Amino acid sequence: MLDGWARRRIDPVLNVMGKGLAQAGISANSVTLAAFGVGVLAAAAIAFGWFLTGLALLLVSRLGDGLDGAIARFKGKTDFGGYLDIVLDFAFYGAIPLGFVLADPATNAVAGAVLLLSFYVNGSSFLAYAIMAEKRILLGEVRGDKSLIFSTGLAEATETLIVFVAFCLFPGWFAQIAYVFAALTFYTALSRIVLASRSFR
């Protein structure tokens, strides 16, 4: 829901940074891999209870996730780059809740499992929609110049990042926040299924 608003504000800065990195010979894929590596470190820090360290690392990771696209826009996109980016994005989105589950399994395990299920369902609806839209040549850049066709929803990357930040700042409220966001994520998946039923008949 907030991705379009956020992109209009941060893309100009990311494009300047991405151009500089591209001119320095840094590839988009290397930034994608580095951002994911930092994201894994964030999840590990969270698992050990170092929540503010995890917060700092996950913010650095998401900065890298924005920069890889900026570099690709300057040097030229590749299908593998787009593929790698989306796969590692989903891996990151699973790793952070897992970190909180490992930090306090007794309190967080069920809520974390529900949240991860909602991510799984939502991710499937997102990717399946992109595949079918590509098959039918339903072009669109509602979320900018992307390698995949992005369908909008209530729970997108910006909302997920906000929730992850809230997890780190208020770890004692992980379960409550996770249940609420899982409900929003399930709703997003359902709305995308409804959209698909209208688009692909």
Each domain of the chain, given as residue ranges in start order, spans: 3-199
Confidence of residue 41 (pLDDT cuts 50, 70, 90): very high
Q: What is the mean pLDDT of residues 30-53?
A: 97
Q: What is the mean pLDDT of residues 73-92?
A: 90
CB environment 44-77: b (16+ within 10 A), e (fewer): bbbbeebbebbbebbbbbbebbbbbbbbbbebeb
123: which DSSP letter? H
Mean pLDDT of the chain: 87
The answer on pLDDT for 143 being more than 50 is: no
- pTM, entire model: 0.87
Confidence of residue 142 (pLDDT cuts 50, 70, 90): very low
Of residues 127, 69, 52, 58, the one with CA closest to residue 92? 58
CATH of domain 3-199: 1.20.120.1760
Q: What is the reported pLDDT for 18?
A: 78
The answer on pLDDT for 141 being more than 60 is: no
More confident residue, 38 or 201: 38
The answer on pLDDT for 148 being more than 80 is: no
Q: What is the reported pLDDT for 135?
A: 74
Q: Which long-range contacts (CB under 8 A, 24 or more apart) does 100-105 make?
A: 100/46, 100/47, 100/167, 100/171, 100/174, 100/178, 102/46, 102/47, 103/46, 103/47, 103/48, 103/49, 103/171, 104/171, 104/174
Q: What is the reported pLDDT for 2?
A: 59
The answer on pLDDT for 107 being more than 90 is: yes
The answer on pLDDT for 14 being more than 80 is: no
First and final CA of the chain: distance in angstroms?
Answer: 25
